[in-house]
Structure 1
Amino acid sequence: MVRYRALKTCAAALLIALSGASANAELAVEIPSVEKLAPPDPYRIYLSDIAINHIVDGRLHVLDGKNMKYLGVIAAGYAGQAVLSADRSEVYVATTYYSRLSSGERTDTVDIHDAQTLVKTGEIVIPPIHAQSLHYKGTIRTSADGRWLYVLNATPAISVTVIDLKARSVMSQIDLPGCWILLPAESVSNRFSTICGDGTMLTVSLDDKGQAVDQQRSAKFFDPDIDPIFIHGEQDGDTYRFVSYGGDIYTAHLGAAVATFDPKWSLLTAAERKAGWRPGGYQLLAQHNASGRVFVGMHDGAKAGSHKYPAKEIWGFDLKTQKRVTRAPGSNAIALAVSKGDKPRLFAYDGVTGAMAAYDASAALKLIGRMEGVGVTPTMMELH
């Protein structure tokens, strides 16, 4: 009992001393702040999520694809379409807002965000006809020199809003009847093309005020009634590649006033075609320009309507030999993107479980990482 009383007395004395010190000490002023992101590397991922469960509040998820961590988020509004600036310093989000959340007066804007802090730095009001669609790479694009921003419209008539990013203002609206998606040329900054429903390609040239001064229709390069192409294209300079529902690669050259095309070639052997192997997904094609490799999400047992199926496997092809050089499990991919540089990683968004998978793409595809629980309904990603 004596020992217990001694301990109790010592504890009380210690508490009194501590409380006195606390009363005299000055507390440091805590200033709330937002943690700064590390400088971006080739593995930073911008994952566009239309968030169909809460479509008025879409998201652009920013991920660290090197360490497979979540970095931050940019609000994308209703059916927002996002793209990085040509110099990768800004993010542009073409989106729609309603005065009563999901109804009321409609306002369409291009929101401008700093790519390093993700903070919104400005906006440009655009005509309220922005396409409220799933995000594909070609629904919003910048010109190669970074001056023009092209935003696809649908009312449902198709057109494009041309924005001068230097002046931060809308310059023109150009009708694109029967065509869809925007494919800027690399060598000519005032020129873009679009894919038309009759199997041709329309090329539009602009003047210095953003007005259309020339429109030229190409020859038919695919048959939409027999073997349509997926609308997603991969770019290497003025060259774009597309894959068809039947598993053929189509190559288009867009530097001139009229698009030209190479002969198509097949991803499939006769046996693979018989087994029903076909491409599937949304952003189902990824291209590593430095190594000349293209990666495609594939599934077997294909049937009418299976062209959006997740990948059972991912196949890699050498563009020079037009032969398959690697094959790996597909991670249920509906979207693929590959990083630049000599240590490429292929990222695959799992459309079944909602995860991001990472593959070493420097040689044979090898799964090296996976991040679970990313997004609601993403369909497209862009790498820094």
Structure 2
Amino acid sequence: MTRDLYARHRAVLPDWLALYYEDPLEITHGEGRHVWDAAGNKYLDFFGGILTTMTAHALPEVTKAVAEQAGRIVHSSTLYLNRPMVELAERVAHLSGIPDARVFFTTSGTEANDTALLLATAHRRSNAILAMRNSYHGRSFSAVGITGNRGWSPTSLSPLQTLYVHGGVRTRGPYADLDDRDFIDACVADLLDLLGHTRAPAALIAEPVQGVGGFTSPPDGLYAAFREVLRERGILWISDEVQTGWGRTGEHFWGWQAHGRNGPPDIVTFAKGIGNGMSIGGVIARAEIMNCLDANSISTFGGTQVTMAAGLANLNHLLEHDLQGNARRVGGLLIERLRAVAAQVPHVREVRGRGLMIGVELTRPGTDEAAPEAASTVLEEARAGGLLVGKGGGHSTSVLRVAPPMSLTVAEAEEGAAILERALRSI
């Protein structure tokens, strides 16, 4: 059955549409932190559909909200008043920390970042964008044009002039050996030097924790230091919270808050987890920025009633059950458990992360040379043991990405760590 489906997949879908595993997996259903495949095998899910199943598979509150809304009306477009969209926008605007915030809903993180770039370039009358090396911001033509991760940017053609800044990766590059304070100072000096050689950019776009790049992050305060430089020049700060938002990092509700001494960003983008599997993305910005467009615009599918109902139910569950606190507590236990394992596995260069957003970087023992084949081996062995994890990384796909639903229990964290330990020792 699965092999037949794989053959049909290859016959009608693009070659560049990546699939995990030598024998691709068809997931048929899920519950809580577990999923099942077409053969009836059960897996502990430590990737959540790329950080999208944020709370739990088949969360009753969300499935009920979707069913009830679908029984009334599924869709009407933004040309009509939409109560669920207004209600979710009110909640998101309040939680954003941005004064006089406006919210525009999209169907994906790619579309959210695309919209943020449109707003920033229109508001600033500049098509120059500052982005971070090793970054990833989506699949659209403009988003790949500002993506600093070569493996996910298939063309150098772009409507934007992109200038890449140091700082997104703490333990690699020319500043890796510096302490945190000197690292920040060096990155700020690099930014100042770059700005001295270009016309005023529209914005800096940055992921507080780089997702596809392998869950790397700078020292706390880097983007606050950048903000001082940007604000003096009127350059906007866009925080890409597609993967870091909604409390996943445990310590903060938004990733930017680790760098927030100079106030919130001008623009925040979000997606993935808020819909718990439903297609929701969005942009939050100050009214003067959001309202700067001087042409008509609508969204056919952004903010559609059924997805907004899911988002409201999911957000309520997240807040009422303090899943941010759970991510901090259980994630802290999981990362320490994995670090203890890593100390005994020569291929593991680093275990890093925040909350339930953990990266395990693999290299050839005794070197900093990436080991993508080792990551593939671990991915396969973890699956054989009943655990699903992801891959990423800037130099190659040699980082295991661990990001379970935020309702993960201590027992499930221990079970997953034990499976991953066996998989790592199999390299």
Please state which band the TM-score falls in when normalised by the shorter chain.
under 0.3
Look at both structures and tell me which one has the larger radius of gyration over its CA atoms.
1
> More relative contact order in 1 or in 2 (CA 8 Å, sep 6+)?
2
Structure whose residues are more often helix by fraction: 2
TM-score (norm 2): 0.25
TM-score (norm 1): 0.27
Structure whose residues are more often strand by fraction: 1
